[in-house]
Amino acid sequence: MTRDFSVAVLGATGAVGRSLIELLEKRNFPTRHLKLFASERSAGQTIHFRNAEITIQNIAEFYNETFDTSFLCLNNQLVREHRSRILANSNKVIDNSSAFRMEPETPLIIPEVNLDDLNKDHSYVAVPNCSAIIMLMAVAPLRTLGKIERVIISTYQSASGGGAAMMDELIEQSHAHLQGNSIKPRITPFPYAFNLFSHNTPINDLGYNGEEWKVIEESRKILKQPNLGINVTCVRVPILRCHSESITVEFADRRPSVEEIQAVLQSASGIRLVDDPKNNHFPMPSEASKQCDVFVGRIRHDLSHAQAISLFVCGDQLYKGAALNAIQIGESMIDLGYL
Ligand SMILES: NC(=O)c1ccc[n+]([C@@H]2O[C@H](COP(=O)([O-])OP(=O)(O)OC[C@H]3O[C@@H](n4cnc5c(N)ncnc54)[C@H](OP(=O)(O)O)[C@@H]3O)[C@@H](O)[C@H]2O)c1
């Protein structure tokens, strides 16, 4: 007999929250009742779910009820402040924020990669950084071909990575630019339309921005390779949805053939090969948007290094980089009998 669960989405009106609600319906997540919470600014608005309009409630009302599963789509600060109260009202909490990802006792889960790190006693689970998920979906399966020593990544990240407000701002700036008006950025640090800039997170003492540092630390934690070499550069490009990444993987002992890599990725769950050199057709945001798979292509040898290969990936970071991954964690908990 299948059970149905009481589900809460906190941060339901944001870019991740809306994708999550869409996917709960699309994937038929066994939901007995769904409650949606956001700030008091949004209270009273409605969001469509399964032939009904659900009214957004002020997050303060969350604490009046208990839930089987709560999906958090809130900023770090709110999660840091309220995690223990949220946990008191939820059997399982699945969090998209980065507030506690690097806490040693917090499982940081990509179901296709490290579901073994999840056990029945975990009541709080973190979804990894979106750029890390999209990269690891393609890189982790390659470990069957040999030990990976180093990964070099350059990202091309979309506006939706900065939330609903950054998407709105990219559209507004694009209109302004096309109408010949000057662009006055509100949220983005520099003009964004018809431009690109280094990821808008603070630079640390080592010269890496916050996004780059998350990719480094979280990838090492997920792969359980604390010394994995990672060189990453994160850039925002004027795309509404989907992160793309150029990736070079250095193997420790030998270089696999292109065919071997294609075969591994072809059979990897959650990957779609888009690798058609004849037609110059490779992964791109317009095709990967709102898709659950991470698209992978441009698979080739790195001619400058005897044991390295290069590839290009593109994934919908609101889906696999956040909401979908969170729901898959919930689905895995159900399958494993943890929920
Ligand atoms: N965007 C991505 O691609 C992505 C990927 C992976 C992880 N994440 C993480 O997921 C989380 C959500 O990101 P997002 O991009 O969806 O952000 P967003 O679009 O800015 O949405 C933020 C959500 O939080 C709510 N909120 C803000 N202040 C609140 C308050 N004081 N009380 C209650 N609710 C409040 C907002 O409600 P109102 O609409 O009422 O303000 C909205 O529902 C963040 O931690 C982010 O780092 C994002």
pLDDT value for 1? 52
Q: Are 112 and 56 in contact (CB under 8 A)?
A: no
Share of the chain above pLDDT 90, in %: 98
Look at phi and psi of residue 76 and say left if phi exceeds 0, alpha if psi is from -120 to 50, else beta. Answer: alpha
Q: Are 11 and 35 in contact (CB under 8 A)?
A: no
pLDDT in tens, 153-167: 999 999 999 999 999
Taking the alpha carbons of 234, 212, 256, 302 in that order, is the dihedral positive or negative?
positive
**Which DSSP state fits 282?**
-
Share of the chain above pLDDT 70, in %: 99
Among 16-25, 178-187, 205-214, 244-253, the least confident range: 178-187
pLDDT in tens, 81-123: 999 999 999 999 999 999 999 999 999 999 999 999 999 999 9
pLDDT value for 2? 67
Average pLDDT, integer, range 329-335? 98
In the residue annotation, 130 being an active-site residue is answered as yes
Joined tokens for residue 338: 């943890």
Average pLDDT, integer, range 179-185? 92
pTM of the predicted model as reported, rounded to 2 decimal places? 0.98
Joined tokens for residue 95: 């969090």
Q: What confidence category does residue 143 fall into, taking pLDDT thresholds of 50, 70 and 90?
A: very high
Joined tokens for residue 261: 């890599």
Those residues with Cβ within 8 angstroms of residue 221's Cβ, 6 or more apart along the chain or in another chain: 101, 102, 108
Helix or strand (DSSP H, E) at 136: helix 130-139
CA of 315 to the centre of ligand 1 (A): 20
Q: What confidence category does residue 3 fall into, taking pLDDT thresholds of 50, 70 and 90?
A: confident
Which of the listed residues 58, 70, 75, 325 should we mutate to test ligand 1's pocket, taking the one with most ligand atoms within 8 A of CB?
Answer: 75
In the residue annotation, 243 being an active-site residue is answered as yes
Average pLDDT, integer, range 21-39? 97
72 pLDDT more than 80: yes
The protein residue whose alpha carbon is closest to atom 35 in ligand 1 is 39
